[in-house]
Structure 1
């Protein structure tokens, strides 16, 4: 199976012409790459998994959130300059447009956040409003069809452009154009585009792989059973945190919206009381380290390229 992608800051997948408008818009509004730990604490991308005391002292360090922002902004500024040279406009939007946006991959376990946002339904609505108001989206939608085609060719590279193909950890072949403004911006920052595409394809897949490994672990399943028993004592019958989250995400589930915050708060308290938070924190680290060992070359190469790109990225951002 071949999956064709375009990359700009965070990866964008173009599966049909119908989503081209969203593809031109900056992906930061709808899909933040910031990851949070299983206990709800903010951590940049693979920061938890990549921080290893046994690595050599010269090992490049994982980027902070601020450093990730700098790289994102530099990529977007370079892309904007390139698109302007082709006669088109683009706007830079923040990588993290919503400060309170959080992700809880295993269970909501921040009582304060849960009391304010429940399972994040309000955040989803805010993300959608930002997406619809994105100046990139509005600008592209206002172009004539022929200009839209030329804008996409300038942005992602024309269909005739040479393609780079790599194999993801799941065995899928992923390809992208070797030309276009996005490719140019990444080449200017990271050097060898083929290497950058290879290592980001691999490392971006590790988050999902790690979480699947945690969720299949017997310790996790046992902790979830204890969590469910705790929830039943509080009057909430859900077999897992995932089931509870899905119930409130589905508008046709029939679950009263007023129950979202009380349920999420109970989930957070039971995650702490039963040890689920501690369990997933431990498992998340264990499997993260295992995957980083398996894919050590890609992990270390990406860290090196990102760290080497930072001085240039800072200079680009300061010049604006």
Structure 2
């Protein structure tokens, strides 16, 4: 999916249309006004283009999945590129392990191809896993690095339109795990990320805090949601951006009450195992 980042999208499509995995590609243009749709139609006629008149946020991925005819779908932002062979390797994992609902890859950040700060945390995941799981077990994913089983994605309802964007993956991931699916990380599934400079960092930080708080209250027991909320806010700067995130969260309290569905005890036990790594993680600082 893309929004107002035509040049970055074209660079990504140039790469994705040439990898040997040869995936069918769907682009969702989230209400861009920079000529994105015209350029895609002219330069990549083999790509299916879905164009919306406004920015759907992460729910744009749901719209794309409505048009998917393959058993698996891998998401890709306009500033990420799946590396040759990685889509096939992710599909092989899903083929061979029918209880795996999603496979997340290893993120290397361009231009230096250093590992994303989150990678060591994923590699050392403390979540208990069955012996057959072909990688560390996860409780959340990053969408643009992940291949999903389409039936599982659809049954879980996809990404929440209410969360819009920024940490929107955790709610979907918890719903998948609560439904019995396993999520895993793979070292040999590689995705490059060239972070876009065309983004509102403060808005993304605010949405990230809000959505983390909302997810905790939507799915965790009260005591655990309180503890998670306190940890998130303790790690965030004490500024107007953070205050705005808290205010946005509070405004959605009636929706949270209506939609709240606490995860099973076993899922909550796994979440608790992640709390210490999350507190000490250099990748989880709301300081953008």
Q: Shorter-chain TM-score: what band?
A: under 0.3
User: Which is bigger in relative contact order (C-alpha 8 A, separation at least 6)?
Assistant: 1
The structure having more radius of gyration, on CA atoms, is 1
Structure with greater proportional helix content: 1
